[in-house]
Structure 1
Amino acid sequence: MSIILLQALGFLLIIFMAYVLKSAGLFKTSDGHLLSKLIVNLTLPAAIIVGFNGIQVNSTFFLLILLGLCSNILLVTIGGFLARKQAPTERGLLMFSIAGYNIGNFTMPFVQGFFGAAVPILGMFDMGNALMLSGGTMAVTEGMTGKKEEKFSLIKIIKRLFASPPFSIYILMFLLAVFRLTLPESVLSIVHLFSSGNAFLSMFMIGLYLEIKIDKKDLSVVLKILATRYFFASIMACFFYFALPFPELVRKVLVLIAFAPIASLSTINSIVFGAKESIAGFLSSASILLSLLIMTGILILFM
């Protein structure tokens, strides 16, 4: 328990240290873009390589991809139904905010410290998750609201997916596992140098993007959306843990995924769809802090 609390406090300290340094003028929010590039192109792919190397593929992995896809479809549809009487922009904000999981930049570095074997589980689920974040959720939202931002294109979604280094590495490492190929230790030792910085850079980037200011009139909207997201997250977590016939580790990791923060792409898509940037940014920041607290509590129960 003490180890879990210490690591959670460590992550929280990194986030708030980055926020304090930004507030003091030593860093800018735009510096988060540079860290994001480092994470997406170097440290996160390295962490995926280390976590996937040597895994044995089984049917559970294919089911996890499907689960990541279907979970998003279900939640975004529920969001559209709940907000059916609201204007398209407000309806879209709930739909984007209730679905989509921040796995690469938050859940993976957070969970990996406690469950070293969790990376393949997270990666397989994230494949399905990424399909929706890269265009699927936008298509469902546009279909339910009647508001079109751009023409749906499967080719565009696929191009966007493979333009993402983490997704490409997911595919590569999965194929290596299918053919039972592993990377030699000499290569892994170098990759470890890059992956070791992933957790720190991810939390520091979150701190640079952290927004804790919002108009009082918008606060009630944020609270309703967060309450809705975490209410259904609780239902999904119970389903994942008690209803699915997976090994215990897989079910535990899925419970943690259920409470993952709002995905960065969900925030971007909601802004593109017309949501106020201040509301979307505050929602993202608040969900990160809430998820950190909830996931820490869940880990204490599990360990």
Structure 2
Amino acid sequence: MEFSVIILIGYLTKKFFERDTGKILSKLVVNFTLPAAIFYSFSTSRFHFSKFAFTATGILSNLLLIFLAFLFFSRIKDPRVRIPIILSFVGFNTGLFMYPLAESLWGEASVVNFALFDLGNSFFIFGVGKAVAEQNKKGILKVFTFPPFLFLLVGITMNSLKVVPPGIVLDVARTIKNANAFLVFFLVGYYLSFRSVYEKFRLILMAGLVKYAAGLLVALIAVKIFSLSSFEEMNLFLSPLLPSAIMTLVYSVEKGYDAELASGLITFFTIVSTSIIMAVNYTWG
């Protein structure tokens, strides 16, 4: 897939860039490309809020995963290692990973489903994730000054009021957001260190086992509880099994944690989630 090629480009070319390139690119992502991607997606799609199952699943998935993250990994003494692992349990990568993949596999209807899941997911990424990264509970309140979350609220409000942004606004947002996927996956490759992944593979594998076991549990319960069509059930089942949010890496870079470990976690989880999605798409009813 395209994202693996971009990760490879970032990995192979990082030696040609200055040392602080990663921090500069992460600031571009947080303040420009990611807000534009969120705003464009939420202001141009039509949501059916009756599908509360997806939003509820997004909330419950995060609550369980965050609880397990602190239960299993809070005893790691080094915050440079502990925080990226805990962050990898906070939020799912819907906007950058699942939106384009879902549209290519199942069409626009599936994007709406995952966007509704993202309503319950986004607060954890931009609020709880920020608090974890800063090791300060008050960081949750900073979600309301965080550009991606602010543009999320604007997009949802405009969508619910059926307000269509002017064409020039959408054109600018689309142009900026088109750079988002490249910058983010380039950052993954830029900070990827196979030596670091190899040295910490047991830790990454343990995190993966906990994350996907919990995700599978939530997925099975959600499909059992909510009454949906077979297509919607498939989307709902996959939602708690998505890879970690890219903000795991962005926060780690901003706060000086182990960015190589964060990149390794994201890369490993992205590979696992992609395999699960393809298998489910091939075998589902």
TM range (shorter): 0.7 to 0.9
How far, CA to CA, are the matches of 1:258 and 1:212 in structure 2? 27
- Cα 1:20–1:95 change in 2 (3 A) is closer
1:147-186 alignment, distance < 5 Å: 149-150=135-136, 152-153=137-138, 156-158=139-141, 160-186=142-168
AA paired with 1:106? F
The answer to whether residue 42 in structure 2 is matched with residue 60 in structure 1 is: no
1:179-218 alignment, distance < 5 Å: 179-214=161-196, 218=200
How far, CA to CA, are the matches of 1:166 and 1:137 in structure 2? 13
1:99-248 alignment, distance < 5 Å: 99-114=90-105, 115-136=107-128, 149-150=135-136, 152-153=137-138, 156-158=139-141, 160-214=142-196, 218-246=200-228
Higher mean alpha-carbon deviation, 228-237 vs 105-114, is at: 105-114
How far, CA to CA, are the matches of 1:26 and 1:273 in structure 2? 23
- Cα 1:204–1:279 change in 2 (3 A) is closer
Query: Hey, what does 2:75 align to over in structure 1?
Result: 87
Please report the TM-score for the alignment, with normalisation by the length of structure 2.
0.74
Name which one, 1 or 2, has greater alpha-carbon Rg: 1
Unaligned runs of 5+ in 2: none
SS in 1 for 2:217: helix
AA paired with 1:157? I
AA paired with 2:121? N
Residue-by-residue CA offset, 1:188-239 (whole Å, 9 max, x unaligned): 3443333333333332232223232237664323222212212222233333
- Cα 1:239–1:62 change in 2 (3 A) is closer
- Cα 1:162–1:14 change in 2 (3 A) is same
The answer to whether residue 265 in structure 2 is matched with residue 283 in structure 1 is: yes
Q: How much has 1:12 moved relative to structure 2?
A: 1.5
The answer to whether residue 58 in structure 2 is matched with residue 76 in structure 1 is: no
Query: Hey, what does 1:15 align to over in structure 2?
Result: 7
- Cα 1:95–1:14 change in 2 (3 A) is closer
Aligned residues: 280
AA paired with 2:156? F
How far, CA to CA, are the matches of 1:35 and 1:273 in structure 2? 14
Query: Hey, what does 1:145 align to over in structure 2?
Result: none
Q: Is the 8 A contact 1:45 1:169 kept in 2?
A: yes
Q: Is the 8 A contact 2:36 2:174 kept in 1?
A: yes
- Cα 1:190–1:113 change in 2 (3 A) is farther
1:255-270 alignment, distance < 5 Å: 255-266=237-248
AA paired with 2:102? V
Please report the TM-score for the alignment, with normalisation by the length of structure 1.
0.71
Q: Is the 8 A contact 2:58 2:240 kept in 1?
A: no
How far, CA to CA, are the matches of 1:124 and 1:278 in structure 2? 31
- Cα 1:212–1:106 change in 2 (3 A) is farther
Q: Is the 8 A contact 1:261 1:291 kept in 2?
A: yes
Residue-by-residue CA offset, 1:116-138 (whole Å, 9 max, x unaligned): 34455444433432333445479
Percentage identity across paired residues of the two chains: 25
AA paired with 1:76? I
Residue-by-residue CA offset, 1:80-103 (whole Å, 9 max, x unaligned): 45x39x836499666554443233
- Cα 1:136–1:14 change in 2 (3 A) is closer
Residue-by-residue CA offset, 1:274-300 (whole Å, 9 max, x unaligned): 986665553333223333333344444
Q: How much has 1:61 moved relative to structure 2?
A: 5.9
SS in 2 for 1:263: coil
SS in 1 for 2:189: helix
Query: Hey, what does 1:40 align to over in structure 2?
Result: 30
